[in-house]
Amino acid sequence: MVKAEAVSKSFGSNEVLKSISLEVQRGEVLCLVGPSGSGKSTFLRCINHLETISAGRLWVDGELVGYRQQGDKIYELHPKEAAKQRRDIGMVFQRFNLFPHMTALENVMVAPMLLGKGGKAQLKTKAMELLARVGLADRHDYYPAHLSGGQQQRVAIARALAMEPKLMLFDEPTSALDPELVGEVLDVMKGLAESGMTMIVVTHEMGFAREVADTLVFMDGGVVVESGDPAEVLANPQRERTKAFLSKVL
């Protein structure tokens, strides 16, 4: 589903990603962990082309992200084509980024509506189903400011699902939440993983990673330090850097 080959990214002279290579199969859940500034969020944002990679190749579902290759020439995509690519990739942000001037229902409906994905009544029914799926059917007419952080993040997940993505990206989805609200969001994500969604999750929730992830990737300083089965990596880390990090967060 996602294939990265020696992906690198620099902001000016600051090299944030150094030759990242990894692969995610369809239906797989991959958790990215690591200290802040390790480049895991940047890598996630490269996957849906919110950031442009400087070197290497990145494919989603067999398509090059942000570029088109003809022969050995690489062409930049038109913003419209890039937008089309993004529609297949859902993203959930650390700070939810719900649209504050729209109700929960409108937040979920707005993108499919603007992109002509169906009639209003049909989209509304679908949006209500999605809100029910994240347990918020009764809050459909609430504005984001009137919802708790956990509820907002669940609406944000429903909003991303409304585009029927093949892949879901989560950028520290629980880091801005009160501890007691983390569980409800993780439950929704767990359900999503069980339904067979391909997911890449940047997180600090090691419990979630152990329980749900198929692969755990530990990043530091822009490189993949260690990866493998989550239970294995968490219980028996091979590298010193991984050990040091895990001893602080577990």
Partner 1 sequence: MSELTPGAVGGSAEGRDASRPQSHAEPEAIEAIRLRHPWRAVFAVVLLAIVALFIYDAAFNRPVYSWNVVAQYLFDVRMLSGIGYTLQLTVYSMAIAIVLGVSVAVMRLSPNPVFRSVAWVYLWIFRGTPVYVQLVFWGLVPVIYKTIDLGIPFTEAVVTLTTKDFLSYFLLAIIGLALNEAAYMAEIVRAGLLSVDKGQEEAATALGLGWWHSMSRVVLPQAMRVIIPPTGNEVISMLKTTSLVVAVPFTLDLYARSRDIAAVNYKPVPMLIVASIWYLLVTSILMVGQYYLERHFAKGVGARPDATKVSLETGTVRVPRSAASAQAKGNPPSGPSPEGGDAS
Q: Segment near partner 1 (CB under 8 A), from 22-30, 125-133, 148-156, 200-208?
A: 148-156
Q: Segment near partner 1 (CB under 8 A), from 156-164, 184-192, 201-209, 239-247?
A: 156-164
Q: Segment near partner 1 (CB under 8 A), from 9-17, 61-69, 93-101, 230-238?
A: 93-101
Of residues 97 through 126, those in contact with partner 1 by CB under 8 A are 97-101, 110-111, 114-115
Among 1, 58, 89, 189, binds partner 1 (CB under 8 A): 89
CA–CA separation, 138 vs 128, rounded Å? 9
Burial class of residue 135 (count of CB atoms within 10 Å of its CB; 0-12, 13-18, 19+) = middle
Pairing mode, strands 55-60 and 63-64: antiparallel
Which residue type occupies 33?
A: V
Structural contact between residues 39 and 62, judged by C-beta atoms closer than 8 angstroms: no
User: Which residues make Cβ contacts (< 8 Å) with residue 31, sequence separation at least 6?
Assistant: 201, 202, 203, 208, 209, 212, 213, 215, 216, 217, 230
Determine if 22 is a binding residue for partner 1 (CB under 8 A): no
User: Which residues make Cβ contacts (< 8 Å) with residue 32, sequence separation at least 6?
Assistant: 40, 43, 44, 200, 201, 202, 203, 217, 219
Q: Segment near partner 1 (CB under 8 A), from 118-126, 139-147, 191-199, 208-216?
A: 139-147
Determine if 87 is a binding residue for partner 1 (CB under 8 A): yes
Determine if 86 is a binding residue for partner 1 (CB under 8 A): yes
Least spacing, CB of residue 184 vs partner 1, in Å: 13
Least spacing, CB of residue 150 vs partner 1, in Å: 9
Least spacing, CB of residue 243 vs partner 1, in Å: 32
- Residues near partner 1 (CB under 8 A) are 48, 50, 79-80, 83-91, 93, 95-101, 110-111, 114-115, 143-149, 152, 156, 159-160, 163, 176-178
